């Protein structure tokens, strides 16, 4: 009954591949987020999404795209993976205007 669950926990893939990371929340929250934590442990927002709008961090390459089949899911698709995409990706969710609950992270390694 994990509140925010991400799969897979680890993902190793070759450069040029397309991959997806799934995120599901069972908290009934309105907004979901994707964050990237680089090798220096610095967290950066990538996207936030509710049923009204998608807010994209302008620094995110358009190879990254969020897909939300329903309110409880926000999946992250990555096309043409590059070495620099290696990082830990965190999903989170929150009720509008309140604190966020984080998933446990997905460690992506591009080789």
Chain residues in the site for another protein (CB under 8 A)? 33, 41-45, 48, 55, 57, 88, 90, 92, 96-102, 104-105
Distance between CA atoms of residues 49 and 32, nearest Å: 5
Q: Closer to another protein at the Cβ: 42 or 111?
A: 42
Instruction: Break the chain down into helix, strand, coil percent, rounded to 5.
Output: 5, 50, 45
Query: Which is closer to another protein, CB of 8 or CB of 16?
Result: 8
Q: Which is nearer to another protein, 9 or 18 (CB)?
A: 9
Nearer CB in complex with another protein: 14/42: 42
What's the rounded Cα separation, in Å, for the pair 32 and 23?
9
Q: Give me the least distance between CB of 68 and another protein, in Å please.
A: 16
In this structure, how many other beta carbons lie within 10 angstroms of the beta carbon of residue 87? Answer: 19
Least gap, CB of 78 to another protein (angstroms): 19
Q: How far is the CB of 55 from another protein (least distance, A)?
A: 6
H/E segment holding residue 23: strand 19-25
Closest distance of CB 80 from another protein, Å: 24
């Amino acid at each position: 009954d994990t509140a925010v669950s991400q799969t897979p926990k680890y993902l190793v893939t070759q450069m040029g591949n397309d991959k997806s990371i799934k995120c599901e929340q069972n908290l009934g929250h309105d907004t979901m987020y994707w964050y990237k934590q680089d090798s220096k442990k610095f967290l950066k927002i990538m996207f936030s999404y509710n049923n009204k709008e998608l807010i994209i961090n302008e620094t995110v390459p358009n190879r990254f795209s969020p897909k939300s089949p329903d309110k409880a899911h926000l999946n992250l698709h990555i096309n043409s993976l590059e070495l620099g995409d290696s990082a830990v990706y965190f999903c989170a969710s929150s009720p509008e205007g309140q604190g966020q609950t984080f998933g446990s992270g997905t460690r992506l390694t591009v080789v």
